[in-house]
Homo-oligomer: A and B are copies of this chain.
Amino acid sequence: MNAPVSTHDVSLMPLPAGVSLGSGRLAVTGALRVFLRGHDDARLRAGISRALCRLEERTGLAFARRPDSEYAFAENAATATCVIDCAASGSPVPILGEDESYALEISSTQATLRAPTVLGALHGLETLLQLLRSDAGGWYLPEAKIDDRPRFPWRGLMIDVVRHWQPLDVIKRNLNGMALVKLNVLHLHLTDDQGFRIESKTCPRLHELGSDGHYFTHEQIREIIAYAAERGIRVVPEFDIPGHATSWLVGHPELASAPGPYGIERGRGIFDPVLDPTNPKVYEILEKFLGEMAALFPDAYLHIGGDENNGVHWSANPGIQAFIREHRLQDNAGLHAHFNGRIHKILAQHGKQLVGWDEILHPSLPAGSVVHSWRGAAGVAEATRHGFACIRSNGYYINLSVPVSEHYLTDPMPSDIPLAAAQEKLVLGGEATMWSEWVTPEIIDSRIWPRTAAIAERFWSPREASDVADMYRRLQIISRRLEEAGLRHESYVDPALRRFAGDTATPADLAALRMVTDLLEPVTLDPRNETQKHIDLLAPLAGLVDCARSDNPAARAFADLVDTALTVKSASAADLAALTQQLTGWKAAAILLATGLCERSPRLNEALPLIQALVAASEVGLEAVEALGAKRMLAAGWRETQLAKLAAAAVPHVAAELAVIAALQQLVAAAAVGSAPAQPGSCS
């Protein structure tokens, strides 16, 4: 136990707190049976049933069933392949801070899973499934001892279902994914300027006029909550107020701080419309609406947003400014705090704790509120210094399209601001945030997964787990599991590219297009917002950039190859040959497209500069590899010329860019050093 948490023998994600592997193996065959030794309930049985079903699909084995089609359990522990010993149910709908630990012991004759609650047992089943292996001898579980518990109790994924509507099936398959990597909070961002995505029975104009008909009904919300609870996941709703509130005002312009009329927002950004905290009607409607939502969502926490209220309409409204003066609220921030105080009271009446983004932090914020920090580590330090519990999302914005290693190496605890022990206890965990400006239901999985698995590890595993290369290795394995659980982050690409390429694309064109696409990545959020401003939220998202993915394994594999080749003073002939083969392949694919399909496909034609950039970049790479191999003297200025070509090839087009420029720069630098006349024998 407590063996090193990162080893090539363990491909688990998240890494357990303690793990040791032995050399024995427990065979997994069609005769596999489970025995329930301790607590027994429907949620546990459903979890076991799902696990067995997934095991069947992976192995092709069929386990015995009862006449009613349920899996047959072992009659006693002695005849069981797997004994599950669960002490108690835990809360049927999960609550913050429950014991989620489990212990797993696998010998060559039996696996035993012990857990104090069903939550722990569910986590243990996921670990068990991740341990499954095979070879010519068949399927088996390795001998192992695992003792595991989460580092943080709040491990979330936020999905913005507003900017682009994400229906029930998207939510369900993402809940499947969350369960696989032991995330336990689904945060639903339900209202914003661009839509009011939840049915209100008390104030129906909200969803009727604010949603284009795209919203969750109460029944669907109950379905989501039940589905999540079955998987050990809490559901925390967010209703963003007082800003980000345009969609509230479409049906209720009387609540606004400036004259209407209001229409659903179709663009991205920060907008002026904001509720008027001086208007009693605002609290009347919020009392009704929040009361309704408090009854609908069982979780003890309710998120009220509170971010990015720019104050423009408040400042322009003399009545509101007079209110601020009369009530000595000092400024717009004071008014916002006053508003939050009133909302806090409403929530307290319903037994709910208030959660809000960074901006709610104010001297008058009521105790017990939770600050959701999105702007930086300082927010976490500041909130906890004032005694507020805190969730961190800064560093986990998966919609930014930055390498997942950046997220992985961000700890919920600020790394450069020391926290007192009391403050550390207030850091509940973190949430990955999927803002949906650039994702349709088709694309969203690829922006969340598999990358969020690495963030889930950050929230679950010991702080010491920080081997980036091993994280990337394990990410590719968990990625398979996530697809098997119904996510489509990988499988959406080929159909989307086929549609993008159009009917004149041949199989060779499509193979080349896939190869090229796998070397691209989306530009990060700000440049995308800037260069694709003309694409509003109603326009289709079906371009090349939507098929390109951050941290693409193909681009990473090339970078690894370059690293390997350059770690020794003189790159091996085999490494150089492998690099030449890849670069030659890229160049050929790009030329095929540039001189063929681009002429026939109007959409690919728009991306022609990117394809030409790949030709140029491949040529630079080939020249560098050739120089490295021949160890020949390079002309003066060669390095600069090549780097300039790479800089030109690095320019984004249609919101995508080549993901292999850095590796190529390394190659050029190495070739230039290798050709320096100071090195004897380097001239050919």
Give the B-binding residues of A (Cβ under 8 A): 11, 53, 56-62, 65, 67-69, 133-139, 169, 212, 263-264, 266, 477, 480, 483-484, 490-492, 494-495, 498-500, 502-504, 535-536, 538-540, 542-543, 598-603, 605
How many angstroms from the CA of A68 to the CA of B266 in the assembled complex?
A: 10
22 A-B pairs with C-beta separation under 8 A: A56-B539, A57-B540, A58-B499, A59-B603, A60-B500, A62-B535, A69-B212, A69-B266, A69-B538, A134-B502, A134-B504, A135-B504, A136-B598, A136-B599, A136-B600, A136-B605, A138-B602, A169-B169, A480-B503, A484-B499, A491-B491, A491-B495
Cβ of A542: which chain B residues have Cβ within 8 Å of it?
56-58, 60
Q: Which residue of B lies closest to A169 (CB)?
A: B169
Shortest CB distance A26–B (Å): 15
Shortest CB distance A139–B (Å): 6
A68 contacts B212, CB within 8 Å?
A: yes
Shortest CB distance A105–B (Å): 23
Cβ of A484: which chain B residues have Cβ within 8 Å of it?
495, 499
Cβ of A169: which chain B residues have Cβ within 8 Å of it?
169
How many angstroms from the CA of A513 to the CA of B194 in the assembled complex?
A: 46
Cβ of A134: which chain B residues have Cβ within 8 Å of it?
502, 504, 600-602
Shortest CB distance A488–B (Å): 8
A56 contacts B540, CB within 8 Å?
A: yes
Cβ of A65: which chain B residues have Cβ within 8 Å of it?
266, 538
Shortest CB distance A442–B (Å): 9
Cβ of A599: which chain B residues have Cβ within 8 Å of it?
135-136
How many angstroms from the CA of A504 to the CA of B135 in the assembled complex?
A: 9
Q: Which residue of B lies closest to A195 (CB)?
A: B69
Shortest CB distance A2–B (Å): 26
How many angstroms from the CA of A598 to the CA of B137 in the assembled complex?
A: 11
Cβ of A536: which chain B residues have Cβ within 8 Å of it?
62
B499 contacts A477, CB within 8 Å?
A: no
How many angstroms from the CA of A602 to the CA of B30 in the assembled complex?
A: 13
Shortest CB distance A249–B (Å): 14
Cβ of A503: which chain B residues have Cβ within 8 Å of it?
11, 133, 477, 480
Cβ of A266: which chain B residues have Cβ within 8 Å of it?
65, 69
What are the 3 A-B residue pairs with the smallest beta carbon separation, nearest first?
Answer: A62-B539, A56-B540, A69-B212
Cβ of A605: which chain B residues have Cβ within 8 Å of it?
136
Q: Say which residue of B11, B480, B495, B540 sits within 8 Å of A499 (CB atoms).
A: B480
Question: Known: A60-B540, A540-B62, A603-B60. Is A483-B502 also a contact (CB below 8 A)?
Answer: no
How many angstroms from the CA of A264 to the CA of B57 in the assembled complex?
A: 23
Cβ of A62: which chain B residues have Cβ within 8 Å of it?
535-536, 538-540
B540 contacts A602, CB within 8 Å?
A: no
How many angstroms from the CA of A545 to the CA of B603 in the assembled complex?
A: 37
Cβ of A494: which chain B residues have Cβ within 8 Å of it?
491, 494
Cβ of A68: which chain B residues have Cβ within 8 Å of it?
212
How many angstroms from the CA of A264 to the CA of B68 in the assembled complex?
A: 8
Shortest CB distance A211–B (Å): 10
Shortest CB distance A490–B (Å): 7
Shortest CB distance A213–B (Å): 9
How many angstroms from the CA of A69 to the CA of B394 in the assembled complex?
A: 33
How many angstroms from the CA of A494 to the CA of B503 in the assembled complex?
A: 21
Cβ of A539: which chain B residues have Cβ within 8 Å of it?
56, 62
A483 contacts B498, CB within 8 Å?
A: yes
How many angstroms from the CA of A605 to the CA of B59 in the assembled complex?
A: 12
Shortest CB distance A445–B (Å): 12
Q: Which residue of B lies closest to A140 (CB)?
A: B602
Given contacts A136-B599, A491-B491, 13 further A-B contacts (CB under 8 A): A56-B539, A57-B542, A60-B500, A60-B540, A60-B603, A67-B263, A69-B264, A69-B266, A136-B602, A137-B602, A139-B602, A490-B495, A491-B495
Q: Which residue of B lies closest to A546 (CB)?
A: B60
Q: Which residue of B lies closest to A476 (CB)?
A: B503
Shortest CB distance A98–B (Å): 28
How many angstroms from the CA of A479 to the CA of B307 in the assembled complex?
A: 47
How many angstroms from the CA of A184 to the CA of B542 in the assembled complex?
A: 30
Q: Which residue of B lies closest to A487 (CB)?
A: B495
Cβ of A11: which chain B residues have Cβ within 8 Å of it?
503
Cβ of A498: which chain B residues have Cβ within 8 Å of it?
480, 483
Q: Which residue of B lies closest to A502 (CB)?
A: B134
Shortest CB distance A71–B (Å): 9
A60 contacts B491, CB within 8 Å?
A: no
Q: Which residue of B lies closest to A137 (CB)?
A: B602
Cβ of A543: which chain B residues have Cβ within 8 Å of it?
60
How many angstroms from the CA of A61 to the CA of B540 in the assembled complex?
A: 7
Cβ of A540: which chain B residues have Cβ within 8 Å of it?
53, 56-57, 60-62
Shortest CB distance A201–B (Å): 18
How many angstroms from the CA of A240 to the CA of B243 in the assembled complex?
A: 58
Q: Which residue of B lies closest to A491 (CB)?
A: B495
Shortest CB distance A520–B (Å): 16
Shortest CB distance A33–B (Å): 16
Q: Say which residue of B136, B264, B600 sits within 8 Å of A135 (CB atoms).
A: B600
Shortest CB distance A200–B (Å): 19
Shortest CB distance A274–B (Å): 21
Cβ of A138: which chain B residues have Cβ within 8 Å of it?
602
How many angstroms from the CA of A91 to the CA of B264 in the assembled complex?
A: 35
Shortest CB distance A596–B (Å): 11
B499 contacts A57, CB within 8 Å?
A: yes
Cβ of A212: which chain B residues have Cβ within 8 Å of it?
68-69
How many angstroms from the CA of A69 to the CA of B538 in the assembled complex?
A: 7
How many angstroms from the CA of A61 to the CA of B541 in the assembled complex?
A: 10
How many angstroms from the CA of A538 to the CA of B500 in the assembled complex?
A: 39
How many angstroms from the CA of A483 to the CA of B501 in the assembled complex?
A: 14
Cβ of A57: which chain B residues have Cβ within 8 Å of it?
499, 540, 542
How many angstroms from the CA of A266 to the CA of B67 in the assembled complex?
A: 9
Shortest CB distance A491–B (Å): 5
How many angstroms from the CA of A598 to the CA of B212 in the assembled complex?
A: 53
